[in-house]
Amino acid sequence: MKRTLMMTASLMMLAAPAFAEWNPDGPIRLWIGYGAGGGTDVQGRTLAKEIEAKRGWQVIPENKAGEDGTVMSAQLKGEEPDGQTLGFAITTTYDFAPMNSDNLTPEDFTYITTTAGSQMAVLARAESGWTSIEDMAAAAAAGEQIVWANWGTQVEAGAEIVARALGIEVNHLRTKGGRGALNALVSMDANVGWGGGVQKPLVEAGELVILASAENGPVALAPEQPTLKDLGVDLNLGYQYIITAPAGMSDEIRDEIAGVVAEILADPESETRQFIEKQYPPAPIVTQGAELREQILTTYDANVAMMKALAE
Amino acid sequence: MDLVLQYIGLGVTSVFTGAEGGLWLMPLAMVVVGVLVGILVGATPGLSGPFAMAIALPVLVSVFGYSNEALYPVLGCLVGIMKGATVGGAVPAILFNTPGTPDAFLTTLDGNPMARKGLGRKAIQTAHFSSVMGDNYSDIVLFVAAPIIAVTVERVLGLPEKSALIILSLCFMAAVVGGAPLKGLIGGLLGMFVSLVGSTLSGNGPRLTFGIPELGGGLPLTSCVLGVLVLSEVLISIEDMRNERRRQTTPPEAPEMGPRLTWGERGRMLPGILRGATIGTLIGALPGIGTTTAATLSYDTAKRRSKEPETFGKGNPQGVVATESANSAVSGANLIPVMSLGIPGNFAAVFIILAVETIGDFAFGPQVFRFTPIREIEGFDTILNKDLVMAFGLFTMMVMANAVNWTVGGVLMGLLGYLVRIPKDVMLPVILTVSLTAAYVQDGGYLGLLSACGFAVIGYGLRRLEISILPFVIGFLLAPTLEGLVRGAYTASGGDALFLLKSPIALVMLALSVFLLVRMVRQARRA
């Protein structure tokens, strides 16, 4: 947490001299790559409001949901990289989803900044009585049909990897975004599902339970639950929320926008920061510029390798 | 029970609470505006509630934005228009024998003779009283039935059953709407076909976008509905105007208004209102049948039950009571399948659904009515089902709209006589300009504009072929939901080819659908 804060603070200072060097020529469109009500949507809208308050830039959020954020990114790609059109989605949109598309590559975008990291977990309904992955595996072995709610190709592949590692059969249910996966769980259309962070109120209300973390460490809501890696499944499905622009954006604009976001996320009073602290604890994750680009490109290659291995 | 009351309390207060926690009267103001607009629109021949809702939705969204706070004012205004229009339609029907809205047609049968006998005021007040009573009655049924149905559905219906339910609803609608059943089916299928454009949950990328990335999210809903419903009607009206120029007549003078309606007379109407409202509510809860059928059925029943059936059609107030209470009761009951299942049954419901899908993160469906225990965690947050609060908020606004209808509506109705005189050649250009602007603003510039124009041509074609527009729009709106459910049911079954036929409930619903289809084809053959 300290490190993140330090990093945010130092980035803020770096960005500080650039203030007011660039101003948008009219309203900025913030295209949200997922549907209304999910974690990406709520965060994007709060952030838009705060950018507006901070800089006086008019930021208009708009949902363009579908295909792991690529319905949005395919349109973003064709826009001018002048800072007037930005995309808000998750790293999966750029470091995984382009491999299913003939028209998209990770090189098509300018990566501005991340905002927060997921709390990726395996969820089940509390009334199922399961408290661990083993319970689920036992139920499957005893003949119960497992239906796993997924919102995209990557997490569906992840579910399949878990199932193979456990030696069980899993049927998949594709939903619209993380919110859709939760609805499928609650309305009993599925009995297991992924949750990236929006699950928080339902887990706290006691409707859902976390069986395992799919991050590198345990998730904040269930610190006692093991990670999938602890269970011998080599899988990390953690992702970050990320702001992007079309490729070819000047460093000046990129750093100006990144600077505003870093400034907002470093402010303990900020609504976006408070939302992130609650939903994606412990604190915002701010990676920007060249470092972020490097991260996306490396992860993309790793993901291509993972899918090849799965297909074999 | 405590929990239910708590949620109702939260819902009511949420309407009056702004984002910052202060008092906020905007939703109330928008309800009032909506009802007034609705009454005016209803009283203007050539305009109807859905028309005004189609145009108002994009305008409202551009004023209030897409955030969660925008939902109450926008829905409030739409609900107001919906309710106001059902009341206003009776005025020109009574005074000038020209129904303001199609569902007020039967009101002319007895309302106009009453006016010609010098009882215009009485007739209008009768229409107002029965209309508002019918509306209130069906709202009460909605408030009770929607949560119960939703909870039952969530417990009983899985993916295959939900898929089968939507198939059954679509078949039912195709069978009952309009004069020729097979045409309804064709309209519905065509609507489903055009909705194939865009993203699916297949993971294989968007389909049928013709390489236009903007279509990845599907055709822009609001613009398309605006085009097929409003713009096509404008095209038809222009044609009619051109052809009827020779026969242009001056609008008639308003007849003598006469005495007021007494409370004793109101009291004697109550049994008739109750019967009409019950028929309207039952019909309204089924998708696609709509106000005209409800009014016809109610009118016929009243006539048959009456001791003096020969006076019907000659100025019997009971005729006005029967039609107005029934057609107004449809509007509340139509929201029962919308709120509990997400299935719209008429145009008004379509726009309520569109508003909800466009704005904020609220969505209709069984998940809305989960009564999550309200718990407060110190220093953190309160845990509750926000959707449920929102649903009760919507109910609150409906009650407010009824109150406005009761009070201001009654006064306004007496003053509406002159509206019939607005000539069409003034009104049509206004509608056209506002609609095209709305489509441009709402759905991403030229994409919205072009889709609206494209769909106007489709709508024109459908109308000229006498294919009802309603199944087209509802097919267009529901097909993506259906596809998601069918895909889900298939993959969740592990790729079982007979996935829809494994559950007895789904099987019964599909059998009913097949029965309806066979019946439609046979009827069409006979005709």
d(CA B328, CA B38): 13
Is A10's Cβ below 8 Å from some Cβ in B? Answer: no
| pLDDT at site B101 | 74
The model's pLDDT over B73-84, given as tens digits with 9 standing for 90+, comes to 999 999 999 999
Nearest-Cα distance to chain A for B120, in Å, is: 50
**pLDDT (tens digit, 9 = 90+) per residue, B4-23?**
888 888 888 888 988 777 88
Span B168-178, average pLDDT: 85
Tokens of A90: 């998750």
- Note whether A291 and A210 are within 8 A (CB): no
**What is the Cα B237 distance to its own chain's centre?**
22
Is A222 within a domain? no
Do residue A127 and residue A177 come from a single domain? yes
Q: Are residues A110 and A248 in the same domain?
A: yes
A26 lies in the same domain as A93: yes
Q: Do A45 and B67 touch (CB under 8 A)?
A: yes
Domain that holds residue A104: 2-117+239-311
Residue A225 forms part of a structural domain: no
Q: What pLDDT, on a 0 to 100 scale, did the predictor assign at position B97?
A: 83
In this predicted model, what pLDDT tens digit does every residue of B184-241 receive, in sequence order? 899 999 999 999 998 777 777 788 888 888 888 889 888 999 999 999 999 998 888 8
Distance CA B496, CA B516 (A): 26
Contacts of A184 in chain B (CB under 8 A): 488
Q: Please judge whether B199 and A201 are an interchain contact, meaning their C-beta atoms are less than 8 angstroms apart.
A: no
Do B105 and B293 touch, CB atoms closer than 8 A?
no
Out of A62-71, A253-262, B395-404, least confident range: A62-71
Residue among B204, B217, B383 whose CB faces A64 most closely: B217
Q: How far apart are the first and last CA of chain A?
A: 40
Do residues B273 and B321 lie in contact, with contact meaning Cβ atoms separated by under 8 Å? yes
How far apart CA B94 and CA B254 sit, in angstroms, is 10
**Does A54 reside within a domain?**
yes
Least Cα separation, residue A193 to chain B (angstroms): 12
User: DSSP 3-state assignment of B144?
Assistant: helix
CB distance from A218 to chain B under 8 Å? no
Domain boundary among A170, A197, A213: A213
Q: What is the CATH number of the domain that holds A149?
A: 3.40.190.10
The C-alpha atoms of residue A74 and residue A60 are separated, in whole angstroms, by 19
Task: Tell me, yes or no, whether A24 and A99 share the same domain.
Answer: yes
Q: Which two tokens stand for residue B454?
A: 């494209």
Inside any domain, residue A233:
no
pLDDT of B314 > 60? The answer is yes
Would residue A162 count as lying in a domain? yes
User: Does position B463 have pLDDT exceeding 70, yes or no?
Assistant: yes
When divided into structural domains, chain A yields a total of 2
Please tell me the predicted confidence (pLDDT) of residue B497.
87
**Across the interface, which of B213, B216, B366 has its CB nearest the CB of A187?**
B366
Rounded to an integer, what distance in angstroms lies between the CA atom of residue A159 and that of residue A70? Answer: 21
Output the pLDDT for position B258. 79
Residues of A in contact with B494 (CB under 8 A): 145, 169, 171
Is A162 in the same domain as A250? no
pLDDT of residue A218: 93
pLDDT band at A18 (very low <50, low <70, confident <90, very high): very low
Q: Determine the Cα–Cα distance for residues B353 and B338; give it in Å rounded to an integer.
A: 8
Instruction: Spell out a b/e string for B164-181, using b for 16 or more CB atoms within 10 Å of the CB, else e.
Output: bbbbbbbbbbbbbbbebb
> Do the Cβ atoms of B199 and A62 come within 8 Å?
no
Q: How is B212-235 classified by DSSP, letter by letter? A: -GGGGG-S-HHHHHHIIIIIHHHH
Judged by average pLDDT, the poorest of A88-97, A228-237, B171-180 is B171-180
Provide the shortest C-alpha distance from residue A296 to chain B (in Å): 21
Report the candidate in A270, A181, A243, A55 with the shortest Cα–Cα distance to residue B367: A181
Same domain, residue pair A76 and A111: yes
Reading the block at residue B27, the tokens are 């939703």
- Preferred mutation among B162, B383, B385 to probe A, highest tally of A CBs within 10 A: B383
> Of A100, A173, A179, which has the smallest distance from its Cβ to B203's Cβ?
A100
Tokens 């016929």 belong to residue: B300
Mean pLDDT (whole number) for B364-389: 74
Residue A143 maps to a domain? yes
Which residues face A122 on adjacent strands? A194, A212
Asked if B254 contacts B420 with a C-beta cutoff of 8 angstroms, the reply is: no
Please name the residue of chain B whose CA is at the shortest distance from the CA of residue A65: B217
Residue B175, C-beta contacts closer than 8 angstroms, at least 6 positions apart: B181, B184, B185, B516, B519, B520
- CB–CB contact A100 B204 (8 Å): yes
Averaged pLDDT for residues B26-36: 94
Residue contact A172–B491, C-beta within 8 A: yes
Please state which of the ranges A102-111, B74-83, B341-350 shows the lowest mean pLDDT: B341-350
CB pairs under 8 A between A and B: 109
Q: Is residue A305 part of a domain?
A: yes
E strands of chain A, at which residues? Answer: 28-32, 59-63, 85-90, 109-117, 121-125, 147-150, 171-174, 192-195, 208-213, 240-246
* pLDDT in the model for residue A63: 84
Query: pLDDT tens across B263-312, in order?
Result: 888 899 999 999 999 999 998 888 777 778 888 889 999 999 888 888 99
Q: What is the CATH classification number for the domain harbouring A272? A: 3.40.190.150
Which residues of chain B neighbour A61 with C-beta distances below 8 Å?
66
The average confidence (pLDDT) of chain B is 86
pLDDT of B326: 93
Tell me the three state secondary structure of residue A109: strand
State the angle between helix axes of B347-358 and B49-64 in degrees (0 to 180), rounded to the nearest 10.
10
What would the two tokens of residue B146 be? Answer: 């929607």
pLDDT band at B249 (very low <50, low <70, confident <90, very high): low
Residue B52 has pLDDT above 60, yes or no: yes
Nearest to A23 by CA among A89, A83, A101: A83
For tokens 């859902």, name the residue: A208
A291 within domain boundaries: yes
Q: B361 vs chain A: nearest CA distance in angstroms?
A: 4
3-state secondary structure (DSSP) of residue A124: strand
- pLDDT reading at B388 higher than 70: yes
**For chain B, what percent of residues have pLDDT higher than 90?**
35
Work out the minimum CA distance from B217 to partner chain A, whole angstroms.
6
Each domain of chain B, given as residue ranges in start order, spans 2-241+259-526
* 8 Å CB contact of A66 and B198: yes
Residue-wise pLDDT tens digits, B410-431:
888 877 766 666 777 788 888 8
Report residue B248's pLDDT band, with 50, 70 and 90 as the boundaries: low
pLDDT in tens, B154-169: 778 888 998 999 999 9
B344 by Cβ neighbours in 10 Å (0-12 / 13-18 / 19+) ranks as buried
Shared-domain flag, residues A189 and A129: yes
Q: Which two tokens mark B438?
A: 């709305």
CA B332-B334-B340 angle, to 5 degrees, is 100
Residue in chain A closest to B360 (alpha carbons) equals A36
Q: Which candidate from B203, B377, B491 shows the least CB-CB separation from A171? A: B491
Residues of B in contact with A72 (CB under 8 A): 216
Tell me, what's the pLDDT at B27? 92
Q: What is the residue-averaged pLDDT of chain A?
A: 89
Confidence of residue B253 (pLDDT cuts 50, 70, 90): low
The per-residue pLDDT for A191 is 92
Q: Which of B383, B492, B495 sits opposite A205 (nearest CB)?
A: B383
Å between A13 CA and nearest CA of chain B: 31
The pLDDT, as a whole number, for residue B341 is 83
**pLDDT above 90: residue A7:** no
Instruction: Mark whether A128 and A110 lie in a shared domain.
Output: no
Coil, strand, or helix at residue B311?
Answer: helix
- Residue A16 — pLDDT band, cuts 50, 70, 90? very low
Q: Are A207 and A285 members of one domain? A: no
Q: How confident is the model at residue A65 (pLDDT cuts 50, 70, 90)?
A: confident
**CB B406 within 8 Å of CB B328:** no
Residues A201-245 pLDDT 10s: 888 888 899 999 999 999 999 999 999 999 999 888 999 999 999
Same domain, A70 and A17: yes
pTM value is 0.86
Nearest to A165 by CA among A310, A311, A312: A310
**B202 chain-A contacts, CB cut-off 8 A:** 174
